[in-house]
Structure 1
């Protein structure tokens, strides 16, 4: 889609070069500038969207298992600590 903006920008620029009317020239140059900026934004968006990586692959499965075991151990220790304080009068 963003390539269409570039094509339209070139068409507006070509029309601006061929016209003899000053207001039409100004409008075409402004349209060409806006379409070129839209093309740059579209190109940037396409490159950023294509460079994303899966966050699930950011952590090694072994590291993820180790972190889960640590979290379970902390949870079990916290539950054991709350049970001990509940039994004392």
Structure 2
């Protein structure tokens, strides 16, 4: 979709250069600017989306509390020693 916006921006820019009407040239230049902005925002959204974490790995507060209690119990029982190899 991003590449489509860039092609539309290129087409609008070409029409603006070939037109003899000033009003049409201004409209086409504004359209080209809008398509370029849409393409850049699409690329940014794709990049941010690819770097986000998976929601399945996010712990809820109750699970986090249970894991902390379990770790504290392991430390109190002397479980902080590394496992023997």
Q: Unaligned regions of 5+ residues in structure 1, if any?
A: 58-63, 74-89
- TM-score of the superposed pair, with normalisation by structure 1: 0.63
How much is the aligned-residue C-alpha RMSD, in angstroms?
3.0
- The 5 Å alignment of 1:26-41 reads 26-41=26-41
Q: Which aligned runs of 4 or more in structure 1 are off by greater than 6 angstroms?
A: none
Q: Unaligned regions of 5+ residues in structure 2, if any?
A: 59-64, 74-85
**1:37-86 CA deviation, whole Å, 9 max, x = no partner?**
111111100110011133628xxxxxx98525158x7xxxxxxxxxxxxx
Q: Secondary structure of 1:6's match? A: helix
More helix by share: 1
Number of aligned residue pairs: 68
- TM-score of the superposed pair, with normalisation by structure 2: 0.65
Match of 2:80? none
